Structure 1
Amino acid sequence: MQFGSFDDICRTAALVVCPLLGTDQGIEPTCYSRNVEIANNLIFQPSTCFVHIVALIMTVIMIIHIRGKYTAVGRKEIVMFFYMYFVIELLAIFLDSGIIPTASDVYPWFTAVYTGLVAATYCCILINGFVGFQFAEDGTPLSLWLLRLSCLAVFGASFFVAIGTFKGFAGLSFTKPIALYIVYLIWPAICVVVYVVLQLVLVIRTLDDRWPIGDIVFGVAFFAVAQVVLFAFSVSICDAVKHYIDGLFFFTVCMLLAVMMVYKYWDSITKEDLEFSVGSKAAVWEVKDPLLGAMDEDDNFSYHGAPAPSLYHNYPPNNNHY
């Protein structure tokens, strides 16, 4: 694989940028998932599109759970990552399936938006890696606007590089897409490495519990497997299953699992102050009226023979830190 070249990559993996690189006709993969016809329309990568739909559903569930932890550290910062991932998966359905044809005039623009969002999402997770160190108080305008403006800057730069490469202006060319190679492939890898290192330092230095390291390890493993399957074994998989699926399917599945591990890790290291919780959790901490209990032999209230719970039993400390 030559640095700065998508030739070998696109012959192996059916990336959304491949029809716009290499030549005027793009670069066609050696083997790709067969299409299906629905209402006289050809749908490409049907199995991958199904995974995209599952990813949308799972992302909505994770967002609801994150928003439900009202007092958790970094809640507003991490939820932005999942919002951006949701938009990426939504765009991927239209680009991977061919709903937006590759020959369409708007395909390069949608692909440039997709590329910019991917780069910005990795920037978002990178900055979220610093939230736990409290360089800026989480949830404050300083923290949120730093995150938003950084992601916007990365999105703008990546969008410009992508559309410039596809259209061949500003010194960029689809025959030599070195800048796009850095934005699309190198930048995500850097963000993931930095994020993982920061979280390992955070867990080891500030937490007594070491179980969150397992979430990090699983997340890294899923991310690594996704890259290896897509860029090394996509053609082999495609040939083995007679074009029903290819490496892009397993890449999408593994990336969804990696994102789910990001949620699992964040959920495991954040605690919520239940004094301010609302909704269904309130019932868990409800104290029964002792007058409803029966007096036992030792003049202690009981509930069906069990000792009455203390008013502050299991009440967590008023603590909102890692």
Structure 2
Amino acid sequence: MSLQHTKQFGSWEFLCSHSPSLAPCNLFFNQIQSLNSSDTILYNSTSFSLVSNNLQSAGVGVRPTCFIRRAGHEGGLGNIAQIVATALCFVFSLILFAAAKRRIAAVGRVEFATLLGLWALIDVFSLLTTGSFLQQGSDYIVWLTSIQMGLRSAWFWSLIVNGLNSTQLIEDGTPPSILSLWVGGIAFFVGTGYIAVDTAFNWSGNLPPSNPPEYLLSNGLFVLLLLWPMIAVFIYSLLMTYVIFFLLKESIPAFWFSLSLLSFMLSQAALFALGHTICDGTNSRIDGAFVATLLEAISLGLLFAGWRSITEDSWYGYDGPQVPVYPKQEPLSNFK
């Protein structure tokens, strides 16, 4: 296999072999396993020389240079650091969700709470698909991964809608805003989920394995899972720059949003660049996935702080609808 081809647009070969705990690789594992030559393709890796039962012990990845052994096999505990980090981040997302729901008068409250709720769901599926305690090549890990990828794709659409709400080009809480949020989100969820499932099972025959199959080519997944998030973050950054500097003429919110963007970028760097290094350095006990998960949670918290700083709200003192108070009228006799 040439290095030039692994860098081809749409190829996941390098990522699935050098980035431990990358969830989309679960789809390609199932795809390759259905082939007659699957043993040669999947297990031609130095990592598998350390285990006696390749399939039962396999962690996330396709021909990985390093992987976290599946829990309960070959002495493995699963990706314990990722499991703990994802569970903590799930709780953190729920706390932010509850806080957003309580901001009664905040602009985009419903839409931003939806954003946070979606992320909490993503954390649940991420724990299942990257925790290294489900068997690779099984149908259920394919379905769980497909749902996770669909939710993640929909989340970035929700991010853009929240940006549009901040500009008031779409008034928050109105039918156009809610419909655009849900219709667009469902479209991304279904579209991404379909491509993910069909990549693994090839039901339609339209997304067969690449030739040769170890190149792991999938333009659809490459666009929706790698390029689309970057495009969405870029669009959201432009929208918030316009809101902060041209509408509000403030500088403090820019601090929160900039830190959120930086934390998100660092999380992706940790996932793709640090994963292999940490995995090797810890003798396949943990990888960089937990660092990426924690940084994404920090990014989400900073995003909430930025949203809070640009919106009006009514916090814990809110006691429900208030009775209007009108000016007291003087009797007409006083004007005689």
Q: TM-score under structure 2 normalisation?
A: 0.77
Read off the aligned partner of 1:21 and give its amino acid letter.
Answer: F
Equivalences, count: 279
Alignment partner, residue 225 of structure 1? 266
Alignment partner, residue 20 of structure 1? 27
Read off the aligned partner of 1:199 and give its amino acid letter.
Answer: M
**Matches of 1:74 and 1:41 in 2, distance apart?**
49
**Matches of 1:187 and 1:120 in 2, distance apart?**
10
Contact 1:20 1:174 in 2 (8 A): no
Contact 2:68 2:287 in 1 (8 A): yes
Read off the aligned partner of 2:184 and give its amino acid letter.
Answer: S
Q: Which of 97, 109, 112 is residue 146 of structure 2 equivalent to?
A: 112
Alignment of 1:2 with 2:8, yes or no, is: yes
**CA displacement, residues 104-157 of structure 1 (integer Å, 9 cap, x when unaligned):** 222212211111111001111111111011122211122111111110111111
Contact 1:125 1:195 in 2 (8 A): yes
Contact 1:52 1:93 in 2 (8 A): yes
Read off the aligned partner of 1:246 and give its amino acid letter.
Answer: D
Return closer, same or farther for 1:215/1:170 CA change in 2, 3 Å cut-off. farther
**CA displacement, residues 166-218 of structure 1 (integer Å, 9 cap, x when unaligned):** 11234113432111111111111111111111101110011232011111111
**Matches of 1:100 and 1:216 in 2, distance apart?**
36
Return closer, same or farther for 1:224/1:275 CA change in 2, 3 Å cut-off. closer
Q: Which of 245, 257, 265 is residue 298 of structure 2 equivalent to?
A: 257
Contact 1:67 1:75 in 2 (8 A): yes
**Matches of 2:272 and 2:249 in 1, distance apart?**
38
**What is the CA-CA distance between 1:257 and the residue it aligns to?**
1.0
**Matches of 2:229 and 2:241 in 1, distance apart?**
18
Return closer, same or farther for 1:37/1:266 CA change in 2, 3 Å cut-off. same
Alignment partner, residue 173 of structure 2? 139
Alignment of 1:124 with 2:165, yes or no, is: no
Alignment partner, residue 246 of structure 1? 287
Contact 1:74 1:131 in 2 (8 A): yes
Look up the SS of the partner of 1:103 in the other structure.
coil
**Matches of 1:5 and 1:209 in 2, distance apart?**
43
Tell me how large the CA RMSD over aligned residues is: 2.4
Look up the SS of the partner of 2:231 in the other structure.
helix
**Matches of 2:17 and 2:26 in 1, distance apart?**
11
Alignment partner, residue 207 of structure 2? 172
Contact 1:31 1:238 in 2 (8 A): yes
Alignment of 1:97 with 2:104, yes or no, is: no
Alignment partner, residue 29 of structure 1? 64
Alignment partner, residue 303 of structure 1? none
Read off the aligned partner of 1:152 and give its amino acid letter.
Answer: I
**CA displacement, residues 257-313 of structure 1 (integer Å, 9 cap, x when unaligned):** 11111111111111125799238xx9xxxxxxxxxxxxxxxxxxxxxxxxxxxxxxx
Return closer, same or farther for 1:242/1:101 CA change in 2, 3 Å cut-off. closer
Return closer, same or farther for 1:142/1:3 CA change in 2, 3 Å cut-off. same
Alignment partner, residue 267 of structure 1? 308
**Matches of 2:315 and 2:134 in 1, distance apart?**
47
Map 1:202-213 to 2 at 5 A: 202-213=243-254
Instruction: State the percentage of identical aligned residues.
Output: 25
Q: Which of 100, 104, 128 is residue 66 of structure 1 equivalent to?
A: 100
Contact 1:18 1:28 in 2 (8 A): no
Read off the aligned partner of 1:136 and give its amino acid letter.
Answer: I
**Greater shift after overlay, 95-104 or 79-88?**
95-104
**Matches of 1:179 and 1:138 in 2, distance apart?**
32
Alignment partner, residue 83 of structure 1? 117
**Matches of 2:104 and 2:25 in 1, distance apart?**
42
Q: TM-score under structure 1 normalisation?
A: 0.80
Read off the aligned partner of 1:18 and give its amino acid letter.
Answer: C
Return closer, same or farther for 1:170/1:126 CA change in 2, 3 Å cut-off. farther
**Matches of 2:75 and 2:140 in 1, distance apart?**
19
**What is the CA-CA distance between 1:240 and the residue it aligns to?**
2.4
Contact 2:263 2:299 in 1 (8 A): yes
**CA displacement, residues 76-108 of structure 1 (integer Å, 9 cap, x when unaligned):** 011111111111101111112244422322221
Return closer, same or farther for 1:258/1:172 CA change in 2, 3 Å cut-off. same
Return closer, same or farther for 1:43/1:114 CA change in 2, 3 Å cut-off. farther
Contact 1:220 1:258 in 2 (8 A): yes
